[in-house]
Structure 1
């Protein structure tokens, strides 16, 4: 079972929408992704506002910054 992840982004972020679309085939195969809006938390906003979208593993805290492909996400999750 793949680890749970968080995708940091915000509303109106085109690259975040592209990242979501890139992740959808993996979600359909069991990847759990929580969409986190950085506008909801000042700490997240300060950490990620210039970097979004960012995929973060919940178990290890490892982060994968955009741009990423589905193949790169699969390798990141191993």
Structure 2
């Protein structure tokens, strides 16, 4: 399972989201990829007002303030299906 977090540098919400995802990786296995939206104009246009954005297997799950419990539930649901 692949989890992508779209973020940017110097973003406290992004740092909080990454921390929560790293903690969740200790509970369940998944691949975590971080993408800086400022490295791709298309992503910057798409996500600049939403970051951080958490995507699981290509589907946006949460953005802005990331709730660890919501991500955990979604990961568990993905793993059981």
**TM > 0.5 between the two?**
yes
What is residue 71 of structure 1 aligned with on the other side? 69
How many residues in Structure 1 have an aligned counterpart in Structure 2? 74
What is residue 43 of structure 1 aligned with on the other side? 42
Please state which structure has a larger fraction of its residues in strand: 2
Q: Structure 2, unaligned stretches of length 5 or more?
A: none
Please state which structure has a larger fraction of its residues in helix: 2
Q: Structure 1, unaligned stretches of length 5 or more?
A: none
- Higher mean displacement: 40-49 or 29-38: 29-38
Deviating 4+ runs (over 3 angstroms): none
User: In the TM superposition, what are the counterparts of 1:1-78 in structure 2 within 5 Å?
Assistant: 3-28=1-26, 29-58=28-57, 61-63=58-60, 64-77=62-75, 78=77
State the SS of the aligned residue for 2:51. coil
CA-to-aligned-CA distance 1:9-38 (integer Å, 9 cap, x gap): 011111100111111111223221100000
TM-score (norm 2): 0.81
TM-score (norm 1): 0.83
